Structure 1
Amino acid sequence: MKVVFISFIFFVFISKLHATEDERLKETLAGLENAQTRLAYLQDNENIYLDQDLSIKAEYWLSLGLALEENSKLDEAFNVYSHAVTVLESAINTHRELYIKALIERSYITYLQTYDTKQYCPDRALAYNTLDETVSIEMQVRANVQYAFCFQNDKANFSTGLSLLDQALKFAKQHKLSPNTHAMIYNASGLIYGRNQLYAKAYEYLLNAYRQWSLVNDYQDMFNMLHTLTHNAIYMREFDKAKQHVDEMFLLADQQNTFEDFLFFAHYNSGFLALAKGDIKESVNAYEMALSEQKNTQERYFVKSAYEVNISNYFRLGEITKAGDLLSQLKTKFPEHQIKSNLVNAFAAYQQGDYLTAIKKMYQQVDHEQNERRLFIKHAVQSTSLLNSQNITELDKKLLEKTIEIQNLNIEKAQSDKHAIYLFLVFALILFLAVSVFSFYLYKTRQYFKHHARIDYLTGVFNRRFLFEEGERALKEVRLKKIEVSILLFDIDNFKKINDSKGHYAGDLAIKLVVEKCQENLPKNAFMGRLGGDEFLVVLKHVNQATAYDIAEQIRADIQEAYLAEISPIELTVSIGVVNCLGQNSLDEAIAQADNLLYQAKAEGRNIVVSE
């Protein structure tokens, strides 16, 4: 009995010691004033924490990874998280939650490095699939939310992401988690709906996120939500709602004056709303007020945007002198800034007396706005159609369940009813008709998804798998019929820079614009597809090497001339490798040759076409 008692006391002592080390680590880090000092502390005291049990070691690795991330040392952070994942994987039964947390943190580093769902989502999928009842509700919610983002741009499956968020919200409500957790879920739901042009639903969830953050007086996130709500309301043409949110931004700016850039963004959004309503004079005044507050914000992108919009505003009002003064200020303050706005460039040409260029730029702006409207309608219709289709499928499922339930009730009733046979036959006929209708619906649905299984969700061109199937068929014709077939392999120059500086959404817009410009220059019997990320392959049947080179050059030139405001001032260009498939044994061999030429194009300065 004495031995048992001593063992128990020793176990409690060791447990308290470990808990103390864990708490001491968290308290120490919380007391350090900045990211640099936190990283220095962790690196200087590595031996203290690594001389503990696995739980303490894992908490140390996770803290070190976060500190490296805060200090922009992403490669080192990735390596630390990877080490934690490897070690914890062998002890998953006893350290499941720490393993899941390490996977999620590593996926975030991969997201920052690549912005590619194919690269950062495997970790999130593994974290989600590793969940069980031993994992805390907070971690289950976090895993659901992180995994949901993997479906935000997948128009065929984005409802899967919404289902994950619905589950997370259910957990949060059942277990009465913090308003911050609720707000995180609502915000993620709103972003997914918004990415798929379902702005009304996005607005509903973003408004809920705002309300949750207001419960805990999280003024920064409240203000950020008001900014997003204003833009969503404008996209819906709900100008009264947008005005209400702008007024709330001004109120927060007045009440919370410790946030110095609130007033700048309140005026900025006021100008954006006035411009959307067509009130150019009011927009001018609002943007002038925003520019008077520019010293209080570090968001240089929005400052440059305010300058460019107001130059266009003054130009539209015919106040040429004021527009010219603003243009001079913009060039003085940001001498390296490259203006991509067609309207501002049109004014610059007009100011110099180059009226032909000014007119050309104005027409380019008209074309750009028309194209944006077409893309918006196309994407909105696709998203709404898919959501409706999925809702109909769910209703059909419920209808079938009800039909089966009715069948069982009728069979039970028929056992004691003299009209049992008659009722059964009538019901069987109804069921047969229902199943026939349902079978026909399933057939049509299968045809629909068969088509979409071949298409890349973002660009509408062939996906990688179907592209290779079609490409191999084309090369078979080369061998059997001796026809001319050439391929173009290209990708977007400096695409990572676009994602890093302008965000994943801007990168998606750049990819879509490149595909559109490419398709405009392809002959009738050509086809193209997306190999992955920003890399594309074009197969040109009955086209020789010289003609393929001319087509590639026209594509390159058109893309260079294209304008996309969301990536300004980064220039949108592509590099292209051209290969004739005569003498190639397979599509893989042809692509490998084209990839060498593409690499050569990159080495020679990008934005060029290189042929064999």
Structure 2
Amino acid sequence: MQRVVVIISMLCWCLLAMNAPVFAEEEQAAIKDTPQDDVIQQIISHSATLSDAKQRLSYLKTQALVAQSLPLLKQAQWLHLLAIEQEALGKLDGAAASYTQAIHMLEPLPLSALLVNSYLERSYIVYLNSNDASLYCQDRNIALTHARKLNDPELLVKALSLNAFCFNNAQNFNVGLMLLDEALDIARANQLSNNRQAMIYNASATLYRDNGLHRRALTFYKQAFELWQQVDDTQDMFNMLHNLIGESVNLSLWQEADGYLAQMKTLVVEKSNLKDFKFKDFEFFYQYNLGQRWLYSYDFIEAIVHLKQAIALENSTSEAYFVHTSYAFLAIAYLQLGDKKQAIHWAKRFNDVSQGAHSKKDLQMAIEAIGLLGEGKTIDAVNLLLKTINDERTKFADFINNGIIYSALEHNSKVAEHQNRLLENQLEIKRLALNAQHDEQQITRLTLWLTLLLVLVLLSLMAFLYQSRRHFKHRSQTDYLTGIASRSYTMEEGETLHSHSRKQGQTLAVIMFDIDNFKRINDSHGHDIGDMAIRAVAQRAKHFLKQQDILGRVGGEEFLLILPNSQKQDAILIAERLRASIDDKIFNFKGIELRFSISVGVALSHPEQSFNNQVKSADLALYQAKNAGRNCVSFC
């Protein structure tokens, strides 16, 4: 096994050396002449003199051949240095590969702290890539098993704290607390640094947060922030501000959230412009948290502004989970504003990325509901949101009825009694606080989803009423047999056009026509053929319409054509063409060939004449055409 590892490592060194820039021969020679125990320290010292991660990574690659000649433990140290700079540059796959290679080298060797750290650091890379506890917790579990075999309290506390993140649901909540209790006991007994104690508080807060105990989580995040502030750990201070804002928002503590946002902005301004500052995603998280704050306080326009600014900076962060959550927040914000198209767009972007699979369940269901709304499945969307609320109620009932979490805490307090009486008292306080805190925490979340549900129901109702109104309006304006305008709509529009023409000093022409000897068609061939004749005449008449003209059926086989801004000769010409198009046509209805004609009456508007009187004039002209032998045009 060890021989295989050595061969693999030699191949990797060769590939790195082939791609590495040429290094000064004098320095190469100097390092080769350095005792092996001092080579890594010399590489670390020289790397520290370089101004940015890109230069440090380039330099470390030049040392591939030098590192190859070192023992496996020293080679693994070099790989750790390489992985740190790869992670700083966002090359997460490269960093994971470097840690994996280090693990393969170290596993056959006597157990070391470097092996434990390799597993822990690789787990963090997996977390950034997937946010899937089932993946990154595998390494943390192995790391804890190894750490328990070493006499290194600092490392054991780190492994315990990181492993506790893996027990963040009601079923194993007590296991996570037991790990943290053990870590706190070790930290106090060995007077470990503020950094290690802060890690414990951070992990504790996360467990409480993930189980809905937001007030308790807020307290622990504050304690972690204060400890990291004492040692001026900028990155962890920023991370705690991010968590403090999230918990303040969950509890609707807007003034506190704004205070933490102000502190975050200060860090962004003070640190982001520094030349050697490693963390380039501070501005992204600042905009993300502003968007989250305004979203949950129902200022959706402001939320959209900041969430879009965060997404514009998505390439500055390796934490894809929060980028994808920004998509989901945008979808919800747009839906709340009634912009269905944008809501569906951002919901689709959220669903298109694999990270969504590990988002919070209620967020996934909300986005799924928006997708259903986009497909027109309004009832399914409402049912899904109702299911979300029912799920929250079920969780609420578990807490109220002293369910799994109460049992877990009771078990935890019994275990702690045999370890440390002080820790037992702390656990008792936690247990007693659960019932008092839970109502307020769950109501905050339920209120948001109930509001969203109400908005969706109202939007669905408005859409239904709008479509219904359009449907009934169309039916009232349309003749059921021919599809042209109905009598009532024709007369209403005629009055409007007549009034407009009179105001503009224009002439309005009216053409009335009907089918000659229509009763004979019905009697000879049946009413269905008669109906087909009526439809055929309507379709032929449509060909003579201009955009502003109106064609309507005003009687059984009688039609009215209204021509705005038309003179006598124009109207008579159209009437004659219409008559001729019917007379020249041999119609075929269900295999029956049929010829028929129409009679046409034309009337022009006069300044003092009403529209109804003009229609009567056209009707009189039609009567004259009938008396003249039918199949002709008469003007009145």
TM-score by length of 2: 0.46
TM-score by length of 1: 0.48
